[in-house]
Homo-oligomer: A and B are copies of this chain.
């Protein structure tokens, strides 16, 4: 390691912007806006999230040559425009899609200055687990990058790069940067913020250099990027942190060692005159429920907006799932844009309709009632449908009615199923499963109750009307597809069910481990059997926001055709 030439103070902007995949023009405009605001504040360096220019993840769009060319053109145009708008002195680290000399797609951070891309860092470690397919979509880089900015030797890494202690991190450490900046596209998972902070702190201390970690904000299909951008000093101490899920700019004055490395590119050697540092904020860690709530609201809000919808429609059964989804929708896009439809059948209780109406009254969402008996009767008079077939036709008439309203009026249909139901296949394909988006598909039933209670309590704190009717929270769950039906007729108690599901689905525990952990063996075998045989239903379920470490969807890829049945091997 070179010895440092002294202390240098850089003013750094963390730009937690919310790009849209594929919207090169719109995302460029966002970058320009943020850069202008940062320049106004006297920033020397602005750091944007991973692939902010293209949005993230672009999935197989990376494999399209036309898209790669467009991204390359857009980054060059952005560099020119930054200079033309008078921000040529500001160094901007901007993620985009580039190409290797072979033509292969690469996940790159451009270092822009003076109207040009002065340097490029190519992501080295490509995550290919969980929701990530980066080994499929990108060619890895194999070099570190250090650029000198106002005398400070700044190393650049991208997201997954800092999760491999002996990988490119170690290579960069040998070059002794005075500062490390890390653009990220790190989707929310429960408790991941704690993990991120611990990691960034540890690696900054190991590198003996401050880290600037900038994460994306916003929803993209089933992912929500929750921001949580931060700065830690060379000892790993947290200096600044952006509020959870908040878009915007945070400015930090950071003292760094100067001239510590042999940079690949020298952008500027001039030392900044020391000014009084601006005071920065460390956003407080919010409660788990509040975190999840913000993520669910963000996921739905952005799916609606980025897909050009202005409103949503959903069935309001009077039950807790649809009430929770309605409350999320009201928070996401406003009650005026939420349409609730009660779809009572002959098996619906009086309280169902009352509770649905109460939900509408509490929040001000649009509400209407359409009795489904005429349509259900038309089916049962013309097609023989008994038992489960009759139950399902009710759900499908509701689905068809909601889709009809959607086609007629242009709303996005929301599916209201929760993770417990989806796990055990307790839903009707083309019935309650219809929808363009499923906001709570990754929320277990016990958490549905917890979030509902939390949201009502928050309303009381704020002096507002609690959105969710108390009876919807307190009554026993029922699909109401036959007389006196209760969920508990066919499913274990949700408290136990959700525990087994968490272990089996989220934690990949097997039958024997679960039995060894004290769960009843027959119950475990039954639940596992239900989960495994419902894969075909989940495959056709709408997307919805991931909040757990293992959401259904691209996070968990299992065959539909499989005879593997743990605990039921004899079958």
Contacts and interface: CB of A to CB of B under 8 A. Distances in A.
A164 interface: no
A249 to B, nearest CB: 23
Interface stretch (A3-11, A22-30, A191-199, A315-323): A22-30
A563 B20 contact: yes
Interface string A370-394: 1100110111011111101100110
Contacts of A70: 564, 569
Interface in A16-70: 20-26, 55, 57-61, 63-67, 69-70
A560 interface: yes
Given A128-B128, A371-B382, A374-B378, A388 B407 contact: yes
A225 to B, nearest CB: 13
Contact of A128 (B135, B511, B569): B135
Interface in A93-135: 128-129, 133, 135
A401 B374 contact: no
Contact size range, A = 35 or more
Copy tally for this chain in the complex stands at 2
A103 to B, nearest CB: 12
Contacts of A509: 66
Contacts of A221: 559-561
Contacts of A566: 66-67
Contacts of A512: 66
Interface string A511-529: 1110000000000000000
Contacts of A69: 510
B393 A404 contact: yes
A106 to B, nearest CB: 16
Given A60-B558, A512-B66, A562-B21, A430 B399 contact: yes
Contacts of A24: 564
Nearest to A401: B383
Nearest to A436: B536
A397 interface: yes
A539 interface: yes
B563 A306 contact: yes
A383 B392 CA distance: 20
A408 interface: yes
Given A510-B66, A563-B306, A59 B558 contact: yes
A400 B403 contact: no
Given A558-B59, A561-B220, A403 B399 contact: no
A220 to B, nearest CB: 6
A249 B566 CA distance: 32
A21 B559 contact: yes
Contact of A64 (B370, B378, B510): B510
A436 B24 CA distance: 38
A500 B554 CA distance: 29
B220 A60 contact: no
B397 A563 contact: no
A429 interface: yes
Given A374-B382, A542-B540, A562 B400 contact: no
A69 B510 CA distance: 10
B408 A386 contact: yes
A142 interface: no
14 contacts: A20-B562, A22-B563, A58-B559, A61-B562, A66-B511, A67-B566, A69-B510, A383-B408, A385-B408, A386-B408, A393-B404, A430-B434, A539-B542, A540-B541
Given A22-B564, A65-B510, A383-B405, 8 more contacts: A25-B569, A59-B559, A63-B508, A65-B508, A136-B557, A306-B561, A375-B382, A384-B408
